[in-house]
Amino acid sequence: MKTARTQVKRVPKRGHYDSETVYSVLDAGLICHVGFAVEGQPFVIPTAYGRMDNRLFIHGASASRMLKSLQQGIEVCVTVTLLDGLVLARSAMHHSMNYRSVVLFGTAELVSEREDKWQALYAFTEHVMPGRWAETREPNEQELRATTVLALPIDEASAKIRTGPPVDDAADYELPHWAGVIPLNVRAGDPIVDPQLTKGIAVPEHVERYLKLGN
Amino acid sequence: MKTARTQVKRVPKRGHYDSETVYSVLDAGLICHVGFAVEGQPFVIPTAYGRMDNRLFIHGASASRMLKSLQQGIEVCVTVTLLDGLVLARSAMHHSMNYRSVVLFGTAELVSEREDKWQALYAFTEHVMPGRWAETREPNEQELRATTVLALPIDEASAKIRTGPPVDDAADYELPHWAGVIPLNVRAGDPIVDPQLTKGIAVPEHVERYLKLGN
């Protein structure tokens, strides 16, 4: 998956091109940033996504400007970034962040076949929270029609990962400044029950599992 | 700041165009996604940023492909997204996320004047962690030369914000599925001291303050 486009240029040792690494970052994220250009004007739109095998799905209302543009087969760049920590160095210029990111290039394909679309929407919902799909109302025909699903093959992608302590200039290690990493994690808080929820419906097991996993 | 480019098209009631809202989202984020196109090929690159008044700064090594491209005055789109929660609806299709995002359009200007560059690097470091700059080694002349700083005026920007419970179809409120929001927060963990830190240097007050604020 290392191509002229995906090759990590800045700090090449941070680059990874194997599917396993790329998938692991994609599966850990919740939001991707979709980049495309219309007559030279770039747009970067945050959106949810799902993955199944080597396809990344994005979706939205059929009227969406982004989805309409991408359906025309223009080049797209999808980036997922997970921030893992603040890297505090002794010198201002060596401050950094620990992160995992994936940059994916390609063109999107319309997912039009009903069963394929269904599977993509399943992947979406399960990506947000495993076990969720089975405890919701499934899409109806009208919803399926009103929703556009696009797939991007995960063929031309690279991951970039930084871990570990700050790297200072040799002479700076003697300085009296504190240095280290402040780890950052996304934590789930207590569920906020929908005020309109029918009385007597308890927080389901798949939500409890999610809260335990992430905390 | 509402222009043809920035107008929020999908779910317009979520759009905000006032500086106060735009700045508050930018100040709460740590990573932006910078989008630009070279010969029709879009790139979306995650990077740190800083803000001072109505300018957003990005920076990097002078050899950076992204910074070289942007310096040529091409159109750029910078997006910052903060994920605030998973919105679990009764129906699969009404699942959503609570978030705050800003999309900024414009062209970047090279920050070349020494004092201006210095201020931008200060804004960068203080954006990561208030109080940090004063307890680090300041940039030297060689570092200043090797670093490119670009500024984007925050003139053409919009914020998009979703808050609150899921919104289901009227008929679905009777369903037996649990619905609500799982709040997500970025939490700082215990500092990981640089293994090469000189013995006897304690975690400084500005780091302690940061840990209290975010947790």
Does B104 lie at the interface with A, CB-CB under 8 angstroms?
no
Topology, domain A12-168: Pnp Oxidase; Chain A (2.30.110)
**pLDDT confidence bin for B135, thresholds 50/70/90:** very high
What mean pLDDT is reported for chain B?
A: 94
Indicate whether B215 pLDDT > 60. Answer: no
Q: What is the CA radius of gyration of chain A?
A: 21
B chain contacts of residue A170, beta-carbon cutoff 8 Å: none
Q: What mean pLDDT comes out for the span A41-49?
A: 96
Does B205 lie at the interface with A, CB-CB under 8 angstroms?
no
What mean pLDDT is reported for chain A?
A: 94
Indicate whether A117 pLDDT > 80. Answer: yes
Cross-chain CB nearest to A92 (options B139, B183, B204): B139
Q: What mean pLDDT comes out for the span A169-189?
A: 97
Cα B92 to Cα A6: distance, rounded to the nearest angstrom: 34
Q: What mean pLDDT comes out for the span B79-94?
A: 98
DSSP collapsed to 3 states, chain B: CCCCCCCCCCCHHHEECCHHHHHHHHHHCCEEEEEEEECCEEEEEEEECEEECCEEEEEEECCCHHHHHHHCCCEEEEEEEEEEEEEECCEHHHCEEEEEEEEEEEECEECCCHHHHHHHHHHHHHHHCCCCHHHCECCCHHHHHHEEEEEEECCEEEEEEECCCCCCCHHHHHCCCCCEEEEEEEEECCCEECCCCCCCCCCCHHHHHHHHHHC
Does A119 lie at the interface with B, CB-CB under 8 angstroms?
no
**Looking at CA atoms only, how far is residue B180 from chain A in angstroms?**
4
Comparing alpha-carbon positions, the chain A residue that sits nearest to B135 is: A177
Lookup result for tokens 């804004």: B123
Q: Which of A210-214, B1-5, B73-77 has the lowest mean pLDDT?
A: B1-5
CATH of B12-190, one of 2.30.110.10, 1.20.1340.10, 1.10.8.100, 2.115.10.20: 2.30.110.10
Sign of the C-alpha dihedral computed for residues A130, A132, A135 and A136 taken in this order: negative
**SS3 category, A65:** helix
Residues listed for chain A: 215
Indicate whether B19 pLDDT > 70. Answer: yes
The predicted complex's ipTM stands at: 0.94
Comparing alpha-carbon positions, the chain A residue that sits nearest to B85 is: A188
Comparing alpha-carbon positions, the chain B residue that sits nearest to A85 is: B188
Indicate whether A183 pLDDT > 60. Answer: yes
Q: Which of A59-63, A80-84, A140-144, A187-191 has the lowest mean pLDDT?
A: A59-63
- A61-116 pLDDT tens trace: 888 889 999 999 999 999 999 999 999 999 999 999 999 999 999 999 999 999 99
Cross-chain CB nearest to B90 (options A37, A136, A189): A136
